[in-house]
């Protein structure tokens, strides 16, 4: 497992997979949007607003999926201290936050015509808002330290503690009385949703998953580059202008230190 978690292997593997992932995601998106907007029937109660579901529900799944991934990476980063786990967790956070925000926004846009309100403080909506705050808190925390290792420790701890919110989001519609409808796809007795609506829902979910993996790979590469830049800047290779002794050392340090700041 560790052999595959080497950054160089990761870059090679994902580099080869990238064109396929992009093609697949584009096809899934086009088919999913076609089914969602044209080919699927309107709901007998909700009319056309049911089409918001094909954004709302996959985005909510992705919000939870990304969080589980982020917390799992956080755990691996704490236990094995593998840098790639921490990098994956950092790369996942903004994607998960985007999907969670999209869930809340599309949910509001669905709630206003159907429930008559943009927002209610009920269990499902509130726990989803907490999920968004957990993402934002994680992003703020890991970036709040000069030393990335300390940031990753604190962030991983937050991600793990916050993972308790995931089952709360999932089961909130069963545990509490809520305006939000209960689960209709991931149920013990199988989906209660019609296949004509289930198909676009699942295809959009796969399209979002493909998007997640593409952006994840790109963000991991970005993070690897940034770490390499940081390592080079801190390595002292660029400080060879510094005199070996004397009062000028501070000046030379400043020059070296700020060398990359202007770019």
Partner 1 sequence: MSEFFSMGGYGSYIWASYGIAAISLIVLLITTLRGLGQSRTELDQLETVLKSRRPRRVRPKDQTS
Rank residues 105 and 183 by Cβ distance to partner 1 and give the closer one.
105
Return the number of other C-beta atoms located less than 10 Å from residue 43's C-beta: 15
Rank residues 153 and 212 by Cβ distance to partner 1 and give the closer one.
212
Rank residues 176 and 238 by Cβ distance to partner 1 and give the closer one.
238
Footprint of partner 1 (CB under 8 A): 33, 37-38, 42, 47-49, 51-52, 55-56, 59, 94-95, 98, 101-102, 105-106, 109-110, 112-113, 211, 214-215, 218-219, 221-222, 225-226, 228-229, 232-233, 237-238, 240-241, 255, 260, 263
In the bound complex, what is the minimum distance in angstroms from residue 252's beta carbon to partner 1? 9
In the bound complex, what is the minimum distance in angstroms from residue 56's beta carbon to partner 1? 7
d(C-alpha 212, C-alpha 207), whole Å:
9
Instruction: With beta carbons less than 8 A apart as the criterion, state whether 36 and 204 touch.
Output: yes
Instruction: With beta carbons less than 8 A apart as the criterion, state whether 252 and 241 touch.
Output: yes
Residue 47, φ and ψ in degrees, nearest 5: 65, -140
Written as six digits, the tokens of 23 are: 């093609």
Instruction: With beta carbons less than 8 A apart as the criterion, state whether 214 and 25 touch.
Output: yes
In the bound complex, what is the minimum distance in angstroms from residue 89's beta carbon to partner 1? 16
In the bound complex, what is the minimum distance in angstroms from residue 43's beta carbon to partner 1? 10
- String of b and e for 149-180 (b: at least 16 CB within 10 Å)? eebbbebbebbeebbebbebbbebbeeeebeb
Rank residues 112 and 174 by Cβ distance to partner 1 and give the closer one.
112
Rank residues 67 and 211 by Cβ distance to partner 1 and give the closer one.
211
Rank residues 3 and 263 by Cβ distance to partner 1 and give the closer one.
263
In the bound complex, what is the minimum distance in angstroms from residue 197's beta carbon to partner 1? 15
In the bound complex, what is the minimum distance in angstroms from residue 144's beta carbon to partner 1? 19
Q: Where are the alpha helices (DSSP H) in the chain?
A: 7-34, 53-80, 83-115, 123-142, 148-162, 165-175, 195-234, 249-258
């Amino acid at each position: 497992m560790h052999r595959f978690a080497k950054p160089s292997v990761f870059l090679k593997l994902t580099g080869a997979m990238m064109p396929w992932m992009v093609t697949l995601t584009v096809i899934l998106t086009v088919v999913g949007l076609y089914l969602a907007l044209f080919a699927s029937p309107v709901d007998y109660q909700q009319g056309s607003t049911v089409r918001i579901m094909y954004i709302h529900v996959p985005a909510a799944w992705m919000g939870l999926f990304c969080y589980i991934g982020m917390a799992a990476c956080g755990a691996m980063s704490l236990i094995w201290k593998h840098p790639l786990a921490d990098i994956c967790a950092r790369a996942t956070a903004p994607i998960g936050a985007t999907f969670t925000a999209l869930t809340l926004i599309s949910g509001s846009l669905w709630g206003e015509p159907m429930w008559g309100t943009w927002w209610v403080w009920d269990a499902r909506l509130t726990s989803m808002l907490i999920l968004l705050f957990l993402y934002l808190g994680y992003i703020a925390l890991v970036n709040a330290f000069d030393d990335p290792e300390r940031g990753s420790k604190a962030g991983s701890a937050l991600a793990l503690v916050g993972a308790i919110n995931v089952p709360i989001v999932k089961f909130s519609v069963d545990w509490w009385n809520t305006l939000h409808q209960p689960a209709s796809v991931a149920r013990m007795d199988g989906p209660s949703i019609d296949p004509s609506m289930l198909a676009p829902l699942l295809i959009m979910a796969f399209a979002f998953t493909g998007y997640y993996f593409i952006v994840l790979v790109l963000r991991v590469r970005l993070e690897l580059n940034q770490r390499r830049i940081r390592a080079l800047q801190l390595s002292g290779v660029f400080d060879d202008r510094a005199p070996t002794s004397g009062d000028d050392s501070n000046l030379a340090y400043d020059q070296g230190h700020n060398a990359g700041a202007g770019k």
